[in-house]
């Protein structure tokens, strides 16, 4: 039994490129994976299109706040090779965030982080898009009651959790570090993946005319397919699973949790500090901490962090609001360090992460004024552009070794 509130109205794939049918199925799969997130906010996308732009780093576009979203599905330079589905989904979540926020500011990053966190919650519950039940076999007959959909979804999620090797799901941004793997490299790779998607968005890099021309070119060369109406049973199961994820969030945040809606797409998540619920804990901490955005990898960090939780970049400045918060905290009795939602990678405990970044921050960084007066006694990192003193061989920001000995 179909439902009539389709969230993605049509698809457009490049039919003249190799594996055209795979491209269409990938678009449908990506849309299916994010539909519960869209439905909660009443978002609709008129056209989800594949594009293969000349700019190798361009990954996605959002035209007119969801009228059309373009996604790169294939690797630049090899039209036969498709990008990992997790990477395409992350780009899709990024572009969906542009329905609400245009510029890449703190509000945008809070919403993007919230969407990534919700998607990860669905995946960890076992959600794989349409055909979630019975390994893809649809339920026959009329629409199942909501209570039955909820029971079946909960049962399937519990079975998945009990099945060996399936409890962790597939996280956006990669898996947990393997034993013996350099945690600094894991953190840097996670920050680079996030930064790559930001650089691959046309919002900051292209004019409105360029964006529209690229979009029109994708439509001109694409084959448009009208979206089929969603199966009501699939939608009911997805909704029930979404409610289970929201239950987990309510437990995680306590009574202060606010679920996302069409009027408040971010809710009160978005990577903010989780309220401490133990004796002496208070949800007031999360309201006091406006946070700050890393200038290197753009992760939104809690206000009490002096370096980025993802890439280790030192905070550039301290706002008056943050100083006031720190002053207020000093006047109170100490409380335990709150946990933090890590949305870019699976993090180790806080003390291990700090030790991984200490060596980089112990070296002095050179300011632009010092660089001008130092002449040849400095060098510039070819990867991130940080200016370093000549005596240092590795960049204090990204860890790259300088290209030559001069």
Do the beta carbons of residue 313 and residue 307 sit within 8 Å? yes
Is residue 95 annotated as part of the catalytic site, yes or no? yes
Contacts of 75 (CB under 8 A, 6+ apart): 81, 82, 83
Task: Give the dihedral of Cα atoms 152, 36, 157, 138; nearest 10 deg.
Answer: 50
Contact present, 3 and 229 (Cβ < 8 Å) = yes
C-beta of residue 266 within 8 angstroms of C-beta of residue 258:
no
Give the count of beta carbons closer than 10 Å to the beta carbon of residue 100: 15
The strand pairing partners of 389, in sequence order, are 378
Q: Where are the alpha helices (DSSP H) in 254-367?
A: 284-288, 320-330, 350-361
Tokens 């349409």 belong to: 130
Catalytic residue, chosen from 3, 47, 50, 95, is 95
- CB within 8 A of 369, min separation 6: which ones? none
> CA 150, CA 146: separation in Å to the nearest integer?
6
Tokens found for residue 281:
């804990």
Round to whole Å and give the CA distance between 213 and 405.
45
**What's the rounded Cα separation, in Å, for the pair 232 and 234?**
5
User: Which residues have a catalytic role annotated?
Assistant: 95
């Amino acid at each position: 039994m179909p439902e009539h509130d389709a969230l993605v109205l049509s698809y457009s794939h490049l039919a003249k490129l190799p594996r055209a049918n795979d491209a269409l199925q990938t678009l449908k799969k990506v849309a299916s994976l994010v539909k519960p997130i869209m439905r909660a906010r009443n978002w609709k996308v008129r056209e989800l299109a594949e594009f293969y732009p000349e700019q190798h780093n361009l990954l996605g576009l959002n035209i007119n706040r969801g009228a059309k979203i373009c996604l790169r599905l294939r690797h630049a330079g090899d039209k036969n090779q498709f990008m990992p589905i997790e990477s395409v989904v992350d780009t899709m979540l990024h572009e969906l965030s542009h329905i609400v926020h245009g510029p890449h500011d703190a509000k945008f990053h809070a919403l993007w982080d919230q969407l990534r966190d919700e998607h990860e919650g669905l995946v960890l519950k076992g959600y794989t898009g349409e055909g979630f039940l019975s390994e893809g076999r649809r339920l026959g007959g009329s629409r199942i009651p909501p209570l039955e959909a909820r029971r079946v979804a909960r049962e399937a999620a519990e079975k998945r959790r009990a099945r060996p090797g399936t409890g962790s799901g597939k996280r956006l941004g990669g898996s947990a570090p393997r034993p013996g793997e350099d945690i600094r490299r894991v953190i840097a790779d996670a920050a680079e993946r996030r930064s790559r998607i930001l650089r691959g968005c046309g919002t900051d890099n292209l004019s409105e005319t360029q964006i529209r021309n690229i979009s029109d070119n994708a439509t001109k060369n694409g084959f448009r397919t009208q979206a089929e109406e969603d199966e009501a049973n699939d939608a009911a199961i997805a909704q029930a699973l979404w409610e289970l994820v929201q239950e987990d969030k309510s437990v995680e945040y306590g009574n202060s949790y606010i679920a996302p809606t069409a009027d408040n797409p971010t809710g009160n998540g978005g990577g903010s500090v989780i309220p401490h619920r133990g004796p002496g804990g208070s949800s007031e901490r999360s309201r006091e901490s406006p946070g700050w955005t890393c200038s290197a990898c753009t992760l939104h960090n809690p206000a009490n962090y002096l370096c980025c939780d993802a890439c280790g970049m030192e905070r550039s400045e301290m706002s008056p609001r943050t100083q006031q918060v720190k002053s207020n905290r000093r006047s109170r009795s100490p409380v335990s360090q709150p946990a933090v939602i890590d949305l870019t990678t699976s993090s180790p405990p806080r003390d291990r992460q700090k030790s991984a970044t200490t060596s980089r921050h112990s070296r002095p960084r050179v300011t632009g004024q010092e660089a001008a007066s130092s002449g040849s006694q400095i060098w510039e990192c070819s990867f991130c552009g940080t200016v370093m003193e000549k005596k240092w061989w590795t960049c204090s920001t990204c860890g790259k070794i300088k290209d030559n000995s001069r």
